[in-house]
Amino acid sequence: MDENSKLYELETEDHDGFLYAIAGGLRLTPEIALSYWREIIAICEEKGYSKILLEHNFVEMISMQEMLEIIVPVGELLKGRMFAFYDRYGHYDVPEAGKAILRGLDVKMQIFHDVKEAERWLRAN
């Protein structure tokens, strides 16, 4: 990867009633997380979505300390939205800690170990 390329990939798909986003790369950093969330929210606002399914595909997860540094700005971006989270690599400790903080910021978040379950939850709420 050259220095001008993004340090992550983001794919999005319109699903019935929500945006399905797959974000991935080698290592998640606070800057990368804020960047992909800004992209996702811009797409949601353009298309009128308030529900998001994020499939996380980062080999190395952000640290707990790094998550605490960015959780409020991410929460501001996600305020009033529903957010289902799935991680391909099984990194759930940091997102579980973030979930309580996000819920306090008016973000309805749920963590899933199966994408189909996440989709069902978004459609049912």
Question: Distance (Å, rounded) from C-alpha 16 to C-alpha 50?
Answer: 12
Residue 42 lies in a domain: yes
Kindly state the tokens that stand for 100.
């309580």
Question: In this model, does residue 59 exceed pLDDT 90?
Answer: yes
CATH number, domain of 80, equals: 3.30.750
- Would 93 be classed as within a structural domain? yes
Q: Is the residue at 10 inside a domain?
A: no
DSSP 57-90: EEEEPPPHHHHHHHHHHHHHHHTT-EEEEEETT-
Each residue of 1-30: pLDDT tens digit? 444 467 999 999 999 899 999 999 999 999
Q: What pLDDT shows up at residue 5?
A: 63
Number of domains in the chain: 1
| Residue 100 is assigned to a structural domain of this protein | yes
6 within some domain: no
* Residue 94 within a domain: yes
- Say if 74 falls within a structural domain: yes
Q: Quote the domain boundaries for residue 53.
A: 17-124
Instruction: Lowest mean pLDDT of 3-7, 34-38, 48-52, name the range.
Output: 3-7
User: Per-residue pLDDT tens for 71-110?
Assistant: 999 999 999 999 999 999 999 999 999 999 999 999 999 9
The predicted model scores a pTM of: 0.93
